[in-house]
Structure 1
């Protein structure tokens, strides 16, 4: 039961920690925004999701391309960490490394289950 509560609370905190997209039109800012999100293990947002989060303001194609490039770099950084350790800390993992490292989720779950046994 404690593990279930922990997962639910972590998920809620993760959902609340998302930030609205930036309002800049500079590709470098969008690249950094994507990198920041990717390096935190957050999911890639579609251009439509970003447009909706920006009160319907249309994001330029070049901004979205810069965002996805930055995200990919940040995602690679995130996926290079020790997945077992991530699970041991009780951190939330949303599956963003599954296509990069097929063992990441397995290692994360092993660490997470070790973490919940200690509770």
Structure 2
């Protein structure tokens, strides 16, 4: 019975998504935006970020910092070889299409050779 409780507890803990870092500073929001983009994740709207930061306040300055960080991370992410990204099976969510119109095509060609 004790093991059953432990397993259920682990299952519940495993199903809960990890909390966001404590967003108190503008620098933290900039780092968050950069990290998201460098992982190839899509840009989040201001409304989404407000809901993620609740109940803590979310200011326009924080959103601008997120945007700056996201653009920096996006430049880093989009400078990688799209073919290799597809070749190794990493997901691509279209964040580079406005920077490099060939990124999607190169990624797709790499996915064709994915093992």
Asked whether the two chains share a fold, i.e. TM above 0.5, the reply is yes
- Deviation sequence 1:19-64 (CA, Å, 0-9, x none): 6544322111111111111111100101101112234544111011
SS at match of 1:111: helix
Displacement of 1:83: 0.2
Q: Does 2:41 correspond to 1:37?
A: no
SS at match of 2:109: helix
TM-score after normalising by structure 1: 0.76
- Deviation sequence 1:75-94 (CA, Å, 0-9, x none): 00000000000000011000
SS at match of 1:38: helix
Q: Does 2:67 correspond to 1:68?
A: yes
SS at match of 1:62: helix
Q: Taking structure 1 as reference, are residues 21 and 47 closer, same or farther at Cα in structure 2, changes over 3 Å only?
A: farther
Counting only pairs closer than 5 Å after superposition, residues 3-22 of structure 1 correspond to structure 2 as 21-22=20-21
Counting only pairs closer than 5 Å after superposition, residues 37-116 of structure 1 correspond to structure 2 as 37-55=36-54, 57-115=56-114
**Which sections of structure 2, spanning at least 5 residues, go unmatched?**
1-14
Which structure is larger by alpha-carbon Rg, 1 or 2? Answer: 2
In the other structure, the counterpart of 1:23 is: 22
Query: Is the 1:27–1:63 Cα contact (8 Å) retained in structure 2?
Result: yes
Give the total of aligned pairs.
100
